[in-house]
Structure 1
Amino acid sequence: MKVLIPCFFVSLLLLRSITAAGSDTMTCIQNVYLSNGEIQTVWGTLEMEDIEIGAFHNDTRTIEFKHSWSKADFSLFDWKFIDIFLRRYMDNTQKLLRKINEELGIEGSYLIQAWAGCSSSSDDYEGLTYRVAKDGEDLMYLNVKEGVWVAGNASHSQGFQRILKKEKAITETIINILMIYCPSLAAVYSALGRETFARKIQPQVYITKTFNPDKVICMVTGFYPKPINVGLWKENKMEDAISTMTLPNGDGTYQITVLINVHFLEQKSVYCRVEHSSLKEPLIVHLNKEHHNLIGLVVGTTVAVVVCVFGLACFVYKLYKKHK
């Protein structure tokens, strides 16, 4: 029986004796949503250096590759193997989780998440990770070196740990994948996607007051890759904020906006703090120094739009006069 590890198995056919320059991190993230012991949906992603290169979902039972190089040379036989594995995986996972539900008496719905990670360097054993969460709380993790499960702080952590200790075959399978297959696969993707992983664009940060004097927003744009941490801070403490999703720009980069409520008399100490893989250290922009940048950006954009609209109107008018 195999559990929580489809990302690696569906990619084992890509293994090659390729040595990648440098070292990159590969992560497989899987989500399983259950209701009364029955799997409702399963979805997951395969990432290298925070860049999503593959995804799967049990509704379609197929793998979606996000980059042309990430599919490599899968043949029709490979795809049949993947399809067979996914179906068996779904059945085996459901049997194990149903068993856990029955033994622990878990009722209702919950989400299981698993993260498995390794480095493209076969010598980086310290980078081998396998963690599991339940409804966003640490459920347990696998100590790869010692081959033991360590319980977390989530409800039923002890119960999950006790049951997994008995499943020796599952533990051995996960360890073998992390120590043997995962680094080899990461090396393949690291070599094939070297140009993509090397592309890092630093974010542009603009912080300003809104028309409401008690609101401050921070707009971060033009960055790549997508993962980023943005927060608005006051007096060295991060404030509760409202944030948009990370959205794509037209040039392949991304943007995100964060807003907080803070009295205008307390805004002198407000600053925007940004963490991104393109930065060696967090980027901090204070409101009282840089807030005019966003205003200039908005004004400049507005002027550009007005000019474009005016130009279009002139063109239409001339065209109308020509054919009148």
Structure 2
Amino acid sequence: MITGCDLREDNTTWGFYQDSYDGRDFLTFNKETMTWVAADIGAQITKRRWDAEVFDNQWWKHYLEEECISWLRSSLEYGKETLQRKVCPTARVSYRSSHDGLSTLSCKVSGFYPRDITVTWLKNGESRQQETYSEGILPSGDGTYQTWLTMEIDPKIKAHYSCHVEHESLLEPLSVSWGKEFVCLSVFLVGEGESIKLNP
């Protein structure tokens, strides 16, 4: 059984309850109609029995729309220092010979939080998204995230390649060229109980 709720940025809410059996979807609660949706014919008998439990279905609707959201708001308030923190990324571009006379450019971006980030390769200032490969965004193990973006190039073709990074912790997008590294430095000035974070 999986149940939960979602509080979106526009302040709308969403709640869900799903039941599975033997590794497969079984029933899903529709809180608008307060009825159950059967995943297959085998769930029809249980659906009819649960649909008849009007009081239980009213309780689930109330739980998903009220109680779950209330708990979520409380959790967000208690954890806001952690959840709302911003850690800027470190980016490094490296180069290695590949095959068939081609070479591979790699852009490693690490140490950032929150998870959402945009990393693209630029060739002479133009985005080359179709020619790039990424493993996706992965946890670093220390509460931050990391990602890699690679692109094969022909070293005989003269061009300027750079790794373009956009993240909400950065004052402006950064662009890192081959052989260069951007290290995020956080300087804390403490005075009279206040701290100020400076990003380069």
TM-score bracket for the superposition, by shorter chain length: 0.5 to 0.7
Residues 1-324 of structure 1 mapped to structure 2, 5 A cutoff: 3-5=1-3, 116-119=4-7, 124=11, 126-130=12-16, 143-147=30-34, 157=39, 159=41, 165-166=47-48, 167-168=50-51, 169=53, 172-212=58-98, 214-225=103-114, 227-229=115-117, 235-237=128-130, 239-242=132-135, 245-248=138-141, 254-260=144-150, 262-264=152-154, 272=163, 278=169, 285=175, 290-294=177-181
Structure number with the higher helix fraction is 1
CA distance in 2 between counterparts of 1:160 and 1:268 reads: 61
* Residue identity opposite 1:239 in structure 2: T
For 2:90 and 2:6, how far apart are their aligned partners in 1?
31
1:253 to 1:215, Cα distance in 2 relative to 1, 3 A: same
Asked if the contact 1:219–1:255 (Cα under 8 Å) also holds between the matched residues in 2, the reply is no
Distance 1:192 1:211 in 2: 50
How many residues in Structure 1 have an aligned counterpart in Structure 2? Answer: 166
d(CA) in 2 for partners of 1:193 and 1:4? 23
| Separation of aligned partners in 2, 1:199 and 1:119 | 19
Unaligned regions of 5+ residues in structure 1, if any? 6-115, 152-156, 298-324
SS in 2 for 1:210: strand
**CA shift at 1:182, angstroms?**
1.0
Q: CA 1:276 to 1:188, structure 2 compared with 1: closer, same or farther past 3 Å?
A: same
Q: Can you give the 5+ residue segments of structure 2 that lack an aligned partner in the other structure? A: 122-126, 184-200
- C-alpha distance in structure 2 between counterparts of 1:208 and 1:269, whole Å: 14
Using the size of structure 2 for normalisation, the TM-score is 0.54
Q: 2:26 & 2:167 partners in 1: Cα distance?
A: 28
Between the aligned partners of 2:42 and 2:71, the Cα distance in structure 1 is 29
Change (3 A) 1:209 1:150: farther
Deviates more, 1:158-167 or 1:190-199: 158-167
Structure 2 partner of 1:49 = none
Residue-by-residue CA offset, 1:66-97 (whole Å, 9 max, x unaligned): xxxxxxxxxxxxxxxxxxxxxxxxxxxxxxxx
- C-alpha RMSD of matched pairs (Å): 4.8
- In structure 2, how many angstroms separate the alpha carbons of the residues matched to 1:193 and 1:239? 36
Q: Distance in 2 between matches of 1:173 and 1:179?
A: 10
Contact 1:221-1:253 within 8 A present in 2 as well: no
Residue 188 of structure 1 deviates from its aligned partner by 1.9
Give, as a single letter, the amino acid of the residue that structure 1 aligns with 2:178.
H
- Following TM superposition, by how much is the alpha carbon of 1:150 offset from its aligned partner in structure 2, in angstroms? 6.8
Q: Please name the residue that 1:62 is paired with.
A: none
CA contact (8 A) 1:228 1:274 kept: no
Query: Structure 1 pair 223/259, CA: closer, same or farther in 2 (3 Å)?
Result: closer
Q: CA deviation at 1:186?
A: 1.7
Which is richer in strand?
Answer: 2
